Structure 1
């Protein structure tokens, strides 16, 4: 299976089906996929991640950018379809099958039971990004600092926290 288009399909469709929690939930899966297959360098992955977060739209744009990097516009289109279509279809089918049972206990338990799954996937994606960054203690320290700011002072605009994290990262890079 050397054709990049088949590889994109082979790896992105399962990620789509396991993407409880949205875009951040698949970061760890994308990272593992990229590293195991040697598709792009870790720093390039971080750059694509940064672009996907800065661009408007869903976090799963990272999959589109990886597809583009592997196979141009065809790869980007295929990666987008592979990441959005399967999970969208499953969501639609589950909604159709369960919407009339919204008031039942099992339905509420199912909804509430999926929340920790999404949270765990988002945390694993964050850990993967910190590991890739290779900044030693600086990456985790900046991440924990941003988390604490968002928890303690939720009204601070995210842009200010991002700017502070970027400034701290630049300062640490200049000092080392």
Structure 2
């Protein structure tokens, strides 16, 4: 089980991600392109400019996300993930029509994944019906997110999954 403390949706303070032995495996930080964006985001309650970066424990940026700024489109994010000097691009788009919870699918490395969260349960990333990872955040202080990698074959994609969960669900 991995965990990290997160702050409000406009905070740019880095959050360290810890493993079960309390060792840092990376950090996640909200980014703004310029000070005007931050001021606008404060007025819009931190939901408009959703740009995150994840760094590995070696301080290498491995994950960048950016929200589509058009308010008339469905909620969308553009992800750039770098693993072993290879760039991967992922597009997340809200697929939920009605109901409670969150749902999207995305393509990564020519495979289709699903991200789903019901109202009270852990969010899950699945592939072909198999749960690969789970994520949950608590909504009372201290604000923390918990991550569980259920399929150890995907250990090398752990920061990618954390970034997907945080980007899609933290600012939802």
Q: Verify same fold: TM over 0.5.
A: no
TM band (smaller chain): under 0.3
State TM-score, norm by structure 1.
Answer: 0.24
Larger relative CO (CA 8 A, sep 6+): 1 or 2? 1
State TM-score, norm by structure 2.
Answer: 0.25
